[in-house]
Amino acid sequence: MISENLVQVKRCIIEAAKRAGRDPSGVRLLAVTKEQSDATVAKGIQAGMTLLGENKVQEASGKIEAFGRKNGLEWHFIGRLQKNKVKFIFDLFDLIHSVDSLALAEAIHKKAQKIGSCMPILLQVNISGEKSKLGIDPLDLPREIRKFAKLEGVKISGLMTIPPFDRNPETSRPYYARLRELRDTCSSLNIPRIYLDELSMGMSNDYEVAIEEGATLVRVGTGLFGPRPSLGKRTVG
Alpha-carbon distances of 23 from 18, 46, 210, 211, rounded to whole Å: 7, 26, 14, 11
Phi, psi of 125 (to 5 degrees): -110, 130
Confidence of residue 70 (pLDDT cuts 50, 70, 90): confident
Please give the CATH topology (third level) of the domain spanning 2-225.
Answer: TIM Barrel (3.20.20)
Name every residue whose Cβ is closer than 8 Å to that of residue 163 and which is 6 or more positions away in sequence.
127, 128, 171, 172, 175, 176, 201, 206
197, amino acid identity: D
Confidence of residue 84 (pLDDT cuts 50, 70, 90): very high
In this model, does residue 234 exceed pLDDT 80?
no
How many whole angstroms separate alpha carbon 86 and alpha carbon 106? 10
How many whole angstroms separate alpha carbon 121 and alpha carbon 66? 24
| pTM for this predicted structure | 0.94
Share of the chain above pLDDT 70, in %: 97
How many whole angstroms separate alpha carbon 126 and alpha carbon 51? 24
Share of the chain above pLDDT 90, in %: 94
Name every residue whose Cβ is closer than 8 Å to that of residue 4 and which is 6 or more positions away in sequence.
none
Encode pLDDT of 22-59 as tens digits: 999 999 999 999 999 999 999 999 999 999 999 999 99
In this model, does residue 93 exceed pLDDT 60?
yes
Average pLDDT, integer, range 173-197: 98
pLDDT value at residue 230: 59
